[in-house]
């Protein structure tokens, strides 16, 4: 099992960050069929067969932890790069 672990500092307000995370989740759903749902005001869960992850919003940082099953492991670098790039662009 592979794990993607990223974090990005930000100075945005929580509503802006949640909107950005919604947009990112929508893009991941379109590309990888990852379904998302908010567990709380600060945690967004991503899930599909072979993938389970959370995006966690804190006051000044967004943390991403996604576990990829064996079939999704080959896509790790592509998914990680996409999330990292989106977070850097939107949160910097």
Compute the distance between CA of residue 86 and CA of residue 72 in angstroms, rounded to an integer. Answer: 20
List, in order of start, the domains of the chain with CATH numbers: 2-91 (3.30.310)
pLDDT greater than 90 at residue 92: no
Q: Please list, in sequence order, all residues whose beta carbon lies within 8 angstroms of the beta carbon of residue 85, skipping any fewer than 6 positions away.
A: none
Compute the distance between CA of residue 78 and CA of residue 85 in angstroms, rounded to an integer. Answer: 11
Give the pLDDT score at 1. Answer: 82
Mean of the per-residue pLDDT values for the chain? Answer: 93
Q: Are 57 and 38 in contact (CB under 8 A)?
A: no
pLDDT greater than 80 at residue 69: yes
Average pLDDT, integer, range 5-28: 92
Q: What is the pLDDT of residues 18-58, one digit of tens each?
A: 999 999 899 989 988 999 999 999 999 999 999 999 999 98
Maximum CA extent, the chain = 37
Compute the distance between CA of residue 72 and CA of residue 92 in angstroms, rounded to an integer. Answer: 29
- Where is pLDDT greater, at 40 or 1? 40
């Amino acid at each position: 099992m592979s794990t993607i672990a990223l974090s990005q500092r930000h100075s945005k307000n929580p509503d802006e960050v949640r909107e950005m995370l919604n947009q990112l989740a929508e893009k991941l759903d379109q590309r990888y069929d990852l379904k998302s749902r908010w567990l709380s005001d600060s945690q967004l869960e991503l899930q599909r067969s072979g993938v389970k992850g959370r995006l966690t919003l804190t006051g000044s940082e967004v943390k991403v932890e996604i576990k990829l099953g064996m079939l999704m492991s080959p896509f790790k670098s592509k998914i990680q790069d996409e999330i990292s790039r989106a977070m850097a662009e939107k949160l910097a």
